Amino acid sequence: MSNQIFPLITPNLQVCVIGKSGVEIAKYFGVSPSPLEASDAAIFEVSAIDGISPADVEKWNTARELYIPSLIVITDLSNGEIDFDDMSAIAGKLLDPVLTPYLVLHDDSGNPTALIDLNSLKISDYSTGEREERESDSEHKVLVFEFRKEYLEALEEFGPTGFIDALNFPAIPFIESNNLGSFEIATLLNTLPSSR
């Protein structure tokens, strides 16, 4: 088991962060917000409370025209009203179909505290605010079997560079209070080449 905080984003990566908490998300990850047209990547925040604004949908369409790799970060998940799966489905209807490389696991109180990687089946446990990676239990493997199958099929459609080529769009949950999703978001952004 290893304790890790998220890796630093590639220093020259130009990232446009779009959404109601865009400034806070950019600050959290230590990226200087960049105009969409000059970006290597775009983060689109989709709030589980507020959804996504029509103006942000327009920006999404612009990012598609420019083939800018785009990541959907789903926030405001701790209120329990709408969960990550529901919000991913909504984002997939409003924007484009999304990939969900991780599913959220909840503690006994119903709070989102961990992610299970549908590729490796490893768990990233954020219950302490730190990231602790461990193997999943056999019951987890059974629970995510169908989700994993769908994910791997969707991933195969665009190949291993689908995200870099701006052809598939991962949706990742993010909760700042316990850092849930931070490592996964930073790791994904670091797969992108910087144009600078």
By the 8 A CB rule, do 51 and 150 touch? no
Task: Say if 185 falls within a structural domain.
Answer: yes
Contacts of 119 (CB under 8 A, 6+ apart): 101, 151, 152, 155
Domain that holds residue 150: 2-189
For residue 122, give both structure tokens: 């490893």
Task: Say if 127 falls within a structural domain.
Answer: yes
Task: Say if 195 falls within a structural domain.
Answer: no
For residue 102, give both structure tokens: 């991780």
Task: Say if 181 falls within a structural domain.
Answer: yes
pTM of the model: 0.92
For residue 84, give both structure tokens: 């990550």
- What is the SS3 assignment for 176? coil
Task: Say if 176 falls within a structural domain.
Answer: yes
| CATH number, residue 97 | 3.40.50.300
* Nearest alpha-carbon partner for 12 in 188, 193, 153, 181: 193
**Distances from the Cα of 181 to the Cαs of 97, 142, 176, in angstroms?**
20, 22, 9
Task: Read off the pLDDT of residues 33-87 as tens digits, 9 standing for 90 and up.
Answer: 899 999 999 999 999 988 899 999 999 999 999 999 999 999 998 766 678 999 9
How many structural domains is the chain composed of? 1
Residue 127 CA to residue 179 CA, distance in Å, equals 9
Task: Read off the pLDDT of residues 98-117 as tens digits, 9 standing for 90 and up.
Answer: 999 999 998 888 889 999 99
- What is the SS3 assignment for 147? helix
Q: How does residue 164 score in pLDDT terms, banded at 50, 70 and 90?
A: very high
Residue 88 CA to residue 173 CA, distance in Å, equals 9
Task: Read off the pLDDT of residues 128-158 as tens digits, 9 standing for 90 and up.
Answer: 989 999 999 999 999 999 999 999 998 888 8
Task: Say if 194 falls within a structural domain.
Answer: no
